[in-house]
């Protein structure tokens, strides 16, 4: 797995100008940024979400250990690999660096080949883990989010709903889908699902979330919007689906049936919203 150096963001955190100059020159093929202290490092991490952080341990004010703890405490940044920069060789410091979430450490004075090799290793590992995570959250057939991802995101939506930020949920299902599979075969059924996914993404440009929930069911969630506000979009999807034709079976017509609901502050979990939607299907 290759790493695109130009697009790989690396944050260098060190208060020593000599060390910074060396690393900046060494990493000139990467998108490298430098800061001089712990507080600036946390601001930079929150702002840019680097792919990797080179973090000096010994700095005035907030040291590298404390910076790492704060980075790893946030769900938004905890997966960013942190490679410590240290002149210390004592076992206690090295073990502590790993215990608080460090991915590796590089000893000073720096060895050019070692620094580059370690960076490449951690960038490749991060890329591989991200790919694995996406695959685990993605429906293989349509490329949309899957049921697992839907429920993962639902926790955030429900938190917003409890604070009064309402969302709308639409369930779109291919009508008589089992009959399509029986008469035309599962390969054609798969083509139908892919066509539905493509049309949904073409119609809905922004401020929505869509997942293939299972079978022929697609869940569309619209944060901060009411049913009336999104009904037109759903109608457009239905119209385009009704006109869609497969190249392999141009005479096959397929349509969508819908169910819908809006969240309520008193809802305990997303299942209540889903149940209410399905009870109002038409």
Going from N- to C-terminal start, the domains of the chain cover 9-135, 147-278
pLDDT at 281: 60
pLDDT at 4: 86
pTM over 0.75: no
Contacts of 187 (CB under 8 A, 6+ apart): none
The CATH homologous superfamily to which domain 147-278 belongs is Reverse transcriptase/Diguanylate cyclase domain (3.30.70.270)
pLDDT at 206: 77
pLDDT at 101: 94
Place of tokens 């991915």: 103
Q: How far is CA 129 from CA 73, 124, 132, 147, 148, in A?
A: 19, 9, 5, 20, 17
Mean pLDDT, the chain cut into blocks of 10 residues (282 residues total): 86 93 94 95 94 94 94 92 88 90 91 92 88 80 92 88 90 95 94 96 87 94 86 92 92 93 92 90 56
Positions of E strands within the chain: 9-13, 31-35, 52-56, 82-86, 104-107, 167-174, 209-214, 217-223, 256-262
Of the candidate CATH numbers 1.10.3660.10, 3.30.70.270, 3.40.50.2300, 3.90.1570.30, the domain formed by 9-135 belongs to: 3.40.50.2300
d(CA 196, CA 159): 30
């Amino acid at each position: 797995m290759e790493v695109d150096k130009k697009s790989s963001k690396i944050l260098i955190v060190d208060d020593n100008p000599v060390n910074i100059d060396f690393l900046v020159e060494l990493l000139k093929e990467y998108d490298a940024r430098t800061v001089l202290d712990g507080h600036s490092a946390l601001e930079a991490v929150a702002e840019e979400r680097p792919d990797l952080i080179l973090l000096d341990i010994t700095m005035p004010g907030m040291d590298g250990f404390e910076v790492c703890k704060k980075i790893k405490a946030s769900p938004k940044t905890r997966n960013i690999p942190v490679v410590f920069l240290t002149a210390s060789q004592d076992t206690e410091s090295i073990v502590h660096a790993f215990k608080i979430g460090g991915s590796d450490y590089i000893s000073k004075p720096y060895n050019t080949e070692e620094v580059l090799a370690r960076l490449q290793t951690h960038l490749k590992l991060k890329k591989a883990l991200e790919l694995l995570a996406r695959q685990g959250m993605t429906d293989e057939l349509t490329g949309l989010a899957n049921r697992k991802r839907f429920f993962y995101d639902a926790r955030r939506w429900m938190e917003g709903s409890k604070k009064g930020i309402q969302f709308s949920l639409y369930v779109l299902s291919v009508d008589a889908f089992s009959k399509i599979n029986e008469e035309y075969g599962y390969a054609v059924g798969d083509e139908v699902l892919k066509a539905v996914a493509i049309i949904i993404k073409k119609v809905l440009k922004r401020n929505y979330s869509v997942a293939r929930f299972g079978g022929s069911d697609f869940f569309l969630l619209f944060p901060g919007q009411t049913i009336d506000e999104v009904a037109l979009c759903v109608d457009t999807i239905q119209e385009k689906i009704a006109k869609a034709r497969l190249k392999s079976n141009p005479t096959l017509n397929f349509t969508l049936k819908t169910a819908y609901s809006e969240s309520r502050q008193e809802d305990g979990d997303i299942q209540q919203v889903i149940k209410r939607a399905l009870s109002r299907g038409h």
